Amino acid sequence: MSSETGFDPELYKRFPTTEARPEGELEQLEEVWCGPRRPWEWITAINNNYIGVYYVGAAMLFFVLAGVLALLMRTQLALPMTGFLAQETYNQIFTMHGTVMMFLFAVPAVEALGVLLLPQMLGARDLPFPRLSAYAFWAYLVGGLCFFASLFFGLAPNGGWFMYPPLTSTTYSPGINADFWLLGIGFIEISAIAGAIEIIVGVLKTRAPGMTLDKLPIFAWAMLIFACMIIIAFPSIILSTLLLELERALGWPFFDAAKGGDPMLWQHLFWFFGHPEVYIIFLPAAGAMSTLIPAVAQTKLVGYRLVVLAMLATGFISFGVWAHHMFTTGMPQISINYFSAASMAVSVPAGVQVFAWIATLAAGKMRFNTPGLFAVGGLVIFVMGGLTGVMVAMVPFDWQAHDSYFIVAHLHYVLIGGMVFPLFAAIYYWTPMSSSRPLSERWGKWIFWLMFVGHNLTFMPMHLTGLMGMPRRVYTYLPDRGWDLPNMISTVGSFMFGLAVLLWVVDMVRNFRPFGNKDAGNVFGGPGLEWLPSGRYSLRSVPVIKSLYPVWDQPDLARDVEAGRYFLPGAPRGERETMITSPINAEPQYLQRMPRPSSWYVWGAIFTAGFFLILTIQAYLVSVISGVLAIYCILKWCWGLDRPSGPATVDVGGGVRLPTYVSGPSSHGWWAMVITLIVSGMVAIMACFSYVFLWSRRPDLWQAPPEIGSLPLTLGLLAAAGVGAWASQGALKLDRPRSAGIAAVLMLAATLAAGGAFAAEASAWWNSGLRPDASSQGATVYALLAWQGTFVGISLLMGPFVLLRWLCGLVSSRYPATFEVVALFVAFTAVQGAATTLLIRLFPGVGA
Amino acid sequence: MLDPAGPFAGPIQTVAWVLFVMAAVVMVVVLVALGVALFGPRKWKRRVGGERLIWIAGLVFPVVVLTGLLIYGLTTTARVADAPKPGEMRVRVTGEMWWWRVAYLDGQGREIVQDANEVHIPAGQPVVFELESADVIHSFWVPRLGGKTDMIPGRRNFMRLQADAPGTYGGQCAEYCGGPHALMGLVVVAHAPADYAAWLARQSRPAAAVPSAQGPLALIDQGRNVFAASGCAACHTIRGTEANGLAGPDLTHVGSRQTLGAGILPNNQGTMAGWISDSQSLKPGNRMPSYAVLSGQDVRAVAAYLESLK
């Protein structure tokens, strides 16, 4: 195999090493990675062994809370025309049930599983951005709890989880309920994106040496595809929540048909996110299934490559099916046919995975333990959900089934079979990795059967009630329609499901003991690296990977790893460190220094959550103060980044020396910035789509853009900003005595040029007489300007930040990582500004 | 949809049966494979436990089944959503929070007469429904006659429905539209064609004048006065009288309707009186205030008056 980075694969042959490890090395490693000692340190902890457990725990808390809401709804619907819940309460509760399950449980739960498991599976000490994980977690927990609490004040959103305007516009939802949804969810999505960036860089850059992509554990593949899908899909929901909030707060008519907006724009943006979302939830769970079924059957996964290809195919196709939620909106026949075909096609890769699991179970011997039961039960339920999915992909059938209880049944079969059961399988399977006691097998089997029967009892009759004409999202129904009996059965089943979850909670309290010195070990005989003996530092030494199933195929692995005979057996710099490897062949590249706990990111998260939530209740001054404090905390956090220390290279075992500092495309920070910019670019692209879409609805409302003569000034300043950012990097690389200062000043000038371009463009539009609240053109033009303005604003923070770092002697040609990242951002801002300016100036025409 | 009553619902039921059979067959295939994998004899297990199963059952089999279904689905998708052609019978239904404004149109699309919450059609011929919204998104659904189509502000959608036989067909709003969405029902009444013409002619007439007289007629007369004095006309129209409000349902022939409150109550003097005095507990959140200020006698009178508007 040719080398990807120039690393000599022959070096792998030095491992396992034979010489004895020095005295005190293990003790030092333990000390460096020590857990919390004082109460406050439980909050500032950043090791994924802590954050991962917190994260899964919080997600399960929201699962239980949203489940309680479901039981309240089922109680109300047990009989026709009951008064258990008032109409408004019910409407809030069903909105919150869907929203909390999707945004506060499903996505965070699988992301949390990734944070908890990936470093263990990949042989890393931690994910590459531990503080970002912590920030994402705390922002999610604080924001999520406050959001949920809105229910207790009757302020919870009541527009349904897909929040269709105009029902959710100020005319029909004048209260702040909808704002809670828009700001709360928009903000939690940002936390999800932060997690996705972490996961992509983690999977691509922190694998054990030799873990090439074709030896990547299937769960890591799933998480990689999951995270990439978040990067593409979530910008759409962020944009749509921003647009609706702008319409609500400032009257910019994106969705208001009277001024040229279109409610369908929301549906396109929402479902462009919303349907991939289903697969975003499903893929990691499927990855977990593909990981634990081989352990259950004690044999290798049949069709590893087919399963990976199937997951990739799912990821791609899922972006072409969004409009199947809109078959009844009067779309043109041709698009209906296309989306119908694509929706059927997306079931094929799911079928491939299902049969890969069945083939694996046949190739080995199924052991009927709790993870196995949940896996098989989930498989059966998921297949049934998939089949009803094919049914509703048939357009004529969907005209009947759409928005009826048939859909409620379908989506719960898919999500519970495709995500909840696999998640429970995963919890039972991996608990012995985190906890010193496994969960009870006897209880587990009871819980499984209660849940399996309860699920089918609840949702099977809903197919029928739907076909009998019962629409979804109704707080009550009239007697004499024949809906009474199936509804009563559903309610009984739901309480059975609830009992199963209650028993599980009790068993967790009885047996789940995380954060100890010892874990229960490889109870189920799994094959992955996560089952090697480990401490808070993860593996004592990072092995060279030669197989997909290292624990099964390399019999001495556990002993050698524990004896420190592989890479990085200690903490060579006395710091938290992890090895960064190359994205394809996982060749060692450098040693990343990891942060120690501090409190800035926790405060940053709390103030960020505070900013959005306080904004909702319209206490603008307090909100702004909270926002400024958040920015301060984050800048303070960033200030401590990129501080090289110690020798330029260190021995990571076997005499292999790795650099301790790199920049550019090899470094993890560069990757994270590029992915962040892809997210931003996606938002801009979706905003451009909105602009063109609304023009196509009402071209008569479009007025002429500002005089073309003002365009060169904007473009010239943007070009200056782009060139300045690029040149400043070049200047830094020259490595002359004054190059750092010149670079910093050039960068400041570039950010000022970007600011100037923004000011020029915004004033040109203002002077042209276009106003944001006047028409859909005004709304979209100023939305694009506002988006660009946000980037300009961040650039204007970065310029002085870089200058300050230079004054403090922190910018140098040898340590350019921070500088490069800032340059990327400023250059992106210039390019984005030029692209959006050209669109709004030249399309649909320059004249009146 | 389990009991289709017209040519736009029937084929959907056929499609549904085809799909159910497909789903059952696939489910059996999966369960058999799973059963063999879990409990089968070793020889059978070996056949199932390889990549061949994935290729055949996971890839080829679904592709064949889905392609067949897709072709079948695309060829049976009736042209229900085309714009109306000249001469087709047209009804415009506008979704309002939380009732239906109904307008009968002539061949050129001009409005003949307005009504609410009840759509009358001739049996045995397709009717083009022009679907619009006055506020938020609603969805028009009469399960026994066909699929559903959304009513979206700023847009106009078309859907054809047909009832083969005279009768009454229930329907409901299918897109969540806030508040009492659950109680936004409607009724479609299909008449024999001759009866339909008579119905439309009757409907087009203004409300009959109420003669001042003794007995029950006195009550009706009193009801008309209370109606006029209590502000009802601000929202409701009764053609032939001074009542010309547009916010609420047209009441010109409200006495001839089968239901009250958009499909939720049978229509008689008792329910009408209950609706007037306490509509907010019968249908919480609806736009009509409860007229609890009216005396029992006044309420009975208004109910009698409205029920007389046949």
- Give residue-wise pLDDT tens across range A494-504: 999 999 999 99
Average pLDDT for A96-112? 95
Q: Domain coordinates of chain A in residue numbers? A: 43-511, 664-842
Cβ distance A164 to B36 less than 8 Å, yes or no, reads no
> How far is the C-alpha of A512 from the C-alpha of B34, rounded, in Å?
32
CA B140 to centroid of chain Cα atoms: 5
Interior CA angle at B65 toward B60 and B68, to 5°? 125
**What confidence tens digit (pLDDT) does each residue in A702-721 have?**
999 999 999 999 999 999 99
Which residues are within 8 A (CB) of B92 and not within 5 positions of it... i.e. 6 or more apart? B102, B103, B105, B111, B129, B130, B131, B132
Q: Max CA-CA distance within chain A?
A: 88
Cβ distance A329 to B38 less than 8 Å, yes or no, reads no
pLDDT given for residue A70 in this prediction: 98
- Chain A hits for B137, CB-CB cut-off 8 Å, are 164, 166-167, 263
**What confidence tens digit (pLDDT) does each residue in B57-89 have?**
999 999 999 999 988 887 776 677 788 888 889
**What confidence tens digit (pLDDT) does each residue in A770-789 have?**
999 999 999 999 999 999 99
Considering only the beta carbons, identify the residue of A361, A376, A394 that sits closest to B69: A394
Q: State the pTM of this model.
A: 0.95
Q: How far is A804 from chain B (nearest CA, A)?
A: 53
Residue ranges in A649-738 assigned as alpha helix (H): 668-697, 711-733
Band of pLDDT at residue A535, cut at 50, 70 and 90 = confident
Average pLDDT for A123-148? 91
pLDDT given for residue B212 in this prediction: 59
Cβ distance A469 to B1 less than 8 Å, yes or no, reads yes
Supply the ipTM of this predicted assembly.
0.95
Band of pLDDT at residue A696, cut at 50, 70 and 90 = very high
Average pLDDT for A217-236? 96
Considering only the beta carbons, identify the residue of B79, B141, B150 that sits closest to A330: B150
Strands B167-173 and B99-105: unpaired
Q: Chain A neighbours among B 90-149 (CB < 8 Å)?
A: 97, 135-137, 139, 141, 143, 146-149
Q: How far is A470 from chain B (nearest CA, A)?
A: 9
Q: How far is A463 from chain B (nearest CA, A)?
A: 12
Q: How far is A183 from chain B (nearest CA, A)?
A: 20
Low-confidence ranges of chain B (pLDDT < 50): none
Cβ distance B49 to A403 less than 8 Å, yes or no, reads no
pLDDT at A848 over 60: no
- Chain B hits for A325, CB-CB cut-off 8 Å, are none
% pLDDT > 70, chain A: 100
Q: Which of A593-607, A612-626, B278-292 has the largest mean confidence?
A: B278-292
> How far is the C-alpha of B185 from the C-alpha of A446, rounded, in Å?
43
Cβ distance B26 to A387 less than 8 Å, yes or no, reads yes
Residue B305 forms contact with A (CB below 8 Å): no
> How far is the C-alpha of B70 from the C-alpha of B264, rounded, in Å?
39
Band of pLDDT at residue A733, cut at 50, 70 and 90 = confident
Top-confidence residue, A813 or B6: B6
Residue showing tokens 């029920």: B307
CA A710 to centroid of chain Cα atoms: 41
Q: What crossing angle do the helices spanning A263-297 and A218-250 adopt, rounded to 10°?
A: 160
pLDDT given for residue A426 in this prediction: 97
> How far is the C-alpha of B306 from the C-alpha of B310, rounded, in Å?
8
- Chain B hits for A347, CB-CB cut-off 8 Å, are 62, 66
In the CATH hierarchy, which top-level class contains the domain A664-842? mainly alpha
pLDDT given for residue A413 in this prediction: 97
- Chain A hits for B282, CB-CB cut-off 8 Å, are none
pLDDT given for residue B77 in this prediction: 66
Please tell me the total number of residues recorded for chain A in this structure: 848
> How far is the C-alpha of A570 from the C-alpha of A23, rounded, in Å?
11
Strands B148-151 and B157-161: unpaired
pLDDT at A390 over 90: yes
> How far is the C-alpha of A815 from the C-alpha of A820, rounded, in Å?
10
> How far is the C-alpha of A616 from the C-alpha of A597, rounded, in Å?
31
pLDDT given for residue B210 in this prediction: 64
Residue showing tokens 């292999």: A656
Cβ distance A366 to B148 less than 8 Å, yes or no, reads no
Strands B185-191 and A588-594: unpaired
Mutate which of A355, A405, A694 to disrupt the B interface (most B C-beta within 10 Å)? A355
Which residues are within 8 A (CB) of B43 and not within 5 positions of it... i.e. 6 or more apart? none
Cβ distance B172 to A471 less than 8 Å, yes or no, reads yes
- Chain B hits for A302, CB-CB cut-off 8 Å, are 49-51, 53-54
pLDDT given for residue A609 in this prediction: 86
Mean pLDDT score of chain A: 93
Top-confidence residue, A533 or A96: A96
DSSP single-letter state for residue B116: E
Interior CA angle at A166 toward A160 and A172, to 5°? 85
Q: How far is A43 from chain B (nearest CA, A)?
A: 41
Cβ atoms of residues A307 and A219 within 8 Å: no
pLDDT given for residue A574 in this prediction: 85
pLDDT given for residue A552 in this prediction: 94
> How far is the C-alpha of A237 from the C-alpha of A183, rounded, in Å?
11
pLDDT at A641 over 90: no
Cβ atoms of residues A435 and A56 within 8 Å: no
Would you give the end-to-end CA distance of chain A in angstroms?
62
What burial class does residue A396 get, using C-beta atoms within 10 Å of its C-beta: 0-12 exposed, 13-18 middle, 19+ buried? buried
Cβ distance A159 to B178 less than 8 Å, yes or no, reads yes
Could you confirm whether domain A43-511 is CATH 1.20.210.10? Answer: yes
- Chain B hits for A303, CB-CB cut-off 8 Å, are 51, 54
Cβ atoms of residues A751 and A796 within 8 Å: yes
- Chain A hits for B53, CB-CB cut-off 8 Å, are 302, 355, 358-359, 362
Cβ distance B135 to A471 less than 8 Å, yes or no, reads no
pLDDT at A279 over 60: yes
> How far is the C-alpha of A770 from the C-alpha of A776, rounded, in Å?
10
Helix, strand, coil percentages in chain A from 3-state DSSP, rounded to 5 = 70, 5, 30
Considering only the beta carbons, identify the residue of B37, B97, B172 that sits closest to A358: B37
Cβ atoms of residues A263 and A164 within 8 Å: yes
